[in-house]
A and B are shown apart, each in its own frame.
Chain A
Amino acid sequence: MSSALIEVRGLQKQYVMGAETVRALRGVDLVIERNEYVAIMGPSGSGKSTFMNLIGCLDTPSAGEYVLNGQPVAGMKDDDLARIRNREIGFVFQTFNLLPRSTALENVELPLVYAGVGKAERKERAAGALGAVELADRLDHRPNELSGGQRQRVAIARALVTRPSIILADEPTGNLDSRTSEEIMALFHRLHAEGQTIIMVTHEPDIAAHADRVVMLKDGIIASDRRQTRVPVGVLAARPESALSEV
């Protein structure tokens, strides 16, 4: 048994579209250890979305192995995948994906509802998670009463509340201005420093520059996988093209 958090071997994914078979992933091997901060990059069509869906247990591979936190998930059925998503993965989306009619607190409670946590404990933990992203004073606000950055922080609180093995962020700053983006990146740094494993899919080099490791996908395989010294928060503006120039 490996101690790696994520272990991927020969991961393949094919889609049948009419008469054509699209090979989105053509054999990916990747090991991610606990408390890594990984950016996954690649141009559109590189298979990075497919890869993220597989890592996030939203989809199952056509072939290959995927062991997450010691559990082989490649062959799992729908409901088992749902359980894995609930316990192991905290999603952060580009468009936040908060439920518009629910308050911040209710949104953060949602994963705990599906985990079967009782009401009182749920409220307490959700409020705690919102406190951790400095939104303790916004518990009863609905998404439309919050700024973009605040919404994304609610989403991050929702991702954190189940204490998942990994935070899986898909273009987390795609809908945010650069100042707010930095706010979110600073939050990610803090979480990482606290021991959280973070996997972030992005096509923005200056966002990827925050990670310790950048995995580049191209045409369904890993084109490069390198560790880097991440930029300190606040120097983004000074180094606009950092990560891409390295690739």
Chain B
Amino acid sequence: MNAREAVRIALSMIRANKLRAFFTVLGTVVGVTFLIAVITLITGMNAYMKEEFAGKILGFNTINVRRLPSVGGGPVDEATWRQWQRRPRLTQDDARFLQERVQTPGLLSYAHDADGKVGDGRGKVVQGVNIIGASANFFNVRDLKIARGRTYTESEADRGVPVVVLGEEVAKKLFEGLPVLGKEVRIQGFPFRVIGVMEEQGSLFGMSMDRMVVAPIRSPLNGSLFRNNVVEDIYFRVPDASLMPRGQSELEGLMRVRHRLRPGAENDFMLETADEALGFWDKISTFLLMALPLLVAVSLVVGAVVIMNIMLVSVSERTREIGVRKSLGARRRDILLQFLVEAGTLSGAGGLLGIGSGIALAYAVSAISPIPARVSPGSILLAIALGIGVGLMAGVYPAYRASRLDPIVALRAD
């Protein structure tokens, strides 16, 4: 008897006892469901982090000079934290120092941001707006597209002209579809003239990216909402990823000169790139992916025990069938193969069910939460292999018992 024959027999057994087969493999179904759901969500997060998060928060091919880490620092001890607090703040002058000296091709921009409120001066106010004061290049460096109007010029930025480009959500909330350009808004009480509206950016982890405004950093916000002359981020965007290392080492050298650090002294600033932020996420996802097998293993072991029990029952119920098969010339290995394949097919079918319900679960979770889902082909192969593997493992002992049955005794069984 070959394996295909055995699979055919196994499928007909499952068809004959659908409900029982389902309960037999419930453990496998549950285990595989979790496996698939978690991997689907982690894969989704991975893709999201790489394609959206990194781009929106840090920008592609962008080196970010900061005083303190934004994301990706991870937990630090108190001594480190205190040391960080003693670092000098970055200033607009630092940014201009870099701008004048950097040789690597690229665009430099600097910005400060804070939460604040934006009103239309007639009582309508939007709270919790991300108010960004930035140099004129900011829109290019961060890929912020303008839907209507224009951005401010370098000259406007340098002079600190009170003009503002609104995020899509702020524009909608304040003006509700009425013309926006040329209108006056109040940011922290200061009047600003609206010169543009940005394209909608969507949300990141459920937070709107459109609840923001961008104005020249040297506008009246300098010294009021923002500490005078201070910047939080200095962005340097290179045209190509291959220039990243060169840009990084050049910026680091320039910053050390600027801060008069002796050779051997530690940097009192940080250079961040999207890769580092992703590195932090990679640590989390790797940990999750390492912990996952343990959780899945528990349900699969339980599943295997159930399958083994039911297979033992099945062997004793079908003792006579085994006797008949043996009398007709079935060898031990034929019987062994038949029951092994039956257990594997049963559990493999459970694995398929689990794949379906796991994907469904992942998409259900992603529908009600900001966590995205993406099916990973590797996880499906893994799940199928696990499903069949669990069945085969669970089937070994019952199949062995069946194969060892004495045909005379088996033929006499009821």
Q: Is B106 an interface residue (CB 8 A)?
A: no
Q: If the complex has contacts A97-B411, A113-B5, are A56 and B331 also in contact, measured as CB distance less than 8 A? A: no
Contacts of A93 in B (CB 8 A): 411
Q: If the complex has contacts A97-B320, A101-B16, are A114 and B411 also in contact, measured as CB distance less than 8 A? A: no
Q: Is the CB of B16 within 8 A of A85?
A: no
| A-B contact number at CB 8 A | 59
Q: Is the CB of A114 within 8 A of B408?
A: no
Q: Is the CB of B332 within 8 A of A53?
A: no
Q: If the complex has contacts A53-B408, A101-B12, A101-B16, are A91 and B328 also in contact, measured as CB distance less than 8 A? A: yes
Q: If the complex has contacts A97-B320, A101-B12, are A115 and B411 also in contact, measured as CB distance less than 8 A? A: no
Q: How far apart are the CA atoms of A162 and B328 in the complex, in Å?
A: 10
Q: How far apart are the CA atoms of A181 and B329 in the complex, in Å?
A: 27
Q: Is B1 an interface residue (CB 8 A)?
A: yes
Shortest distance between the CB of B245 and any CB in chain A (Å): 64
Q: Is A203 an interface residue (CB 8 A)?
A: no
Chain B, interface size category, equals 20 to 34
Q: Is A111 an interface residue (CB 8 A)?
A: yes
User: CB-defined interface of B384-414 with A at 8 Å, one 1/0 digit per residue?
Assistant: 0000000000000000000000011001000
Residue count of chain A within 8 Å CB distance of chain B: 25
Q: Is the CB of A56 within 8 A of B16?
A: no
Shortest distance between the CB of B102 and any CB in chain A (Å): 76
Q: If the complex has contacts A53-B408, A101-B12, are A82 and B331 also in contact, measured as CB distance less than 8 A? A: yes
Q: Name the residue on B nearest A53 (C-beta).
A: B408
Q: Is B211 an interface residue (CB 8 A)?
A: no
Q: Is A86 an interface residue (CB 8 A)?
A: yes
Q: How far apart are the CA atoms of A123 and B121 in the complex, in Å?
A: 90
Contacts of B408 in A (CB 8 A): 53, 58-59
Q: If the complex has contacts A59-B408, A97-B411, are A79 and B331 also in contact, measured as CB distance less than 8 A? A: yes
Q: If the complex has contacts A53-B408, A99-B321, are A114 and B334 also in contact, measured as CB distance less than 8 A? A: yes
Shortest distance between the CB of B294 and any CB in chain A (Å): 40
Q: Is the CB of A114 within 8 A of B325?
A: yes
Shortest distance between the CB of A88 and any CB in chain B (Å): 10
Contacts of A230 in B (CB 8 A): none
- Within residues 23 to 51 of chain B, which ones have a CB less than 8 A from any CB in chain A? none
Q: Is A110 an interface residue (CB 8 A)?
A: yes
User: CB-defined interface of B288-321 with A at 8 Å, one 1/0 digit per residue?
Assistant: 0000000000000000000000000000000011
Q: How far apart are the CA atoms of A97 and B325 in the complex, in Å?
A: 10
User: CB-defined interface of B1-29 with A at 8 Å, one 1/0 digit per residue?
Assistant: 10001000000110010000000000000
Q: Is the CB of A114 within 8 A of B12?
A: no
- Within residues 323 to 352 of chain B, which ones have a CB less than 8 A from any CB in chain A? 323-334
Q: Is A210 an interface residue (CB 8 A)?
A: no
- Within residues 51 to 95 of chain B, which ones have a CB less than 8 A from any CB in chain A? none
Shortest distance between the CB of B67 and any CB in chain A (Å): 76
Contacts of B326 in A (CB 8 A): 58, 82, 85
User: CB-defined interface of A43-79 with B at 8 Å, one 1/0 digit per residue?
Assistant: 0000000000100101100000000000000000011
Q: Is the CB of B329 within 8 A of A56?
A: no
Q: Name the residue on B nearest A96 (C-beta).
A: B324
Q: Is A87 an interface residue (CB 8 A)?
A: yes
User: CB-defined interface of A115-126 with B at 8 Å, one 1/0 digit per residue?
Assistant: 110000000000
Q: Name the residue on A nearest B403 (C-beta).
A: A78
Q: If the complex has contacts A78-B332, A99-B321, are A85 and B1 also in contact, measured as CB distance less than 8 A? A: no
Q: Is the CB of B16 within 8 A of A86?
A: no
Q: Name the residue on B nearest A49 (C-beta).
A: B408
Q: How far apart are the CA atoms of A26 and B229 in the complex, in Å?
A: 113
Q: A79-B333, A85-B329, A99-B321 are in contact. List 6 more A-B contacts (CB 8 A).
A: A82-B326, A97-B320, A97-B327, A110-B325, A114-B329, A162-B329
15 A-B pairs whose Cβ atoms sit less than 8 Å apart in the complex: A56-B327, A58-B326, A59-B408, A79-B332, A82-B332, A83-B329, A87-B329, A91-B328, A93-B411, A97-B320, A97-B327, A101-B13, A114-B329, A114-B334, A116-B1
* Nearest 10 A/B pairs, CB to CB: A86-B329, A114-B329, A82-B331, A111-B328, A79-B331, A97-B324, A58-B407, A85-B329, A114-B330, A91-B327
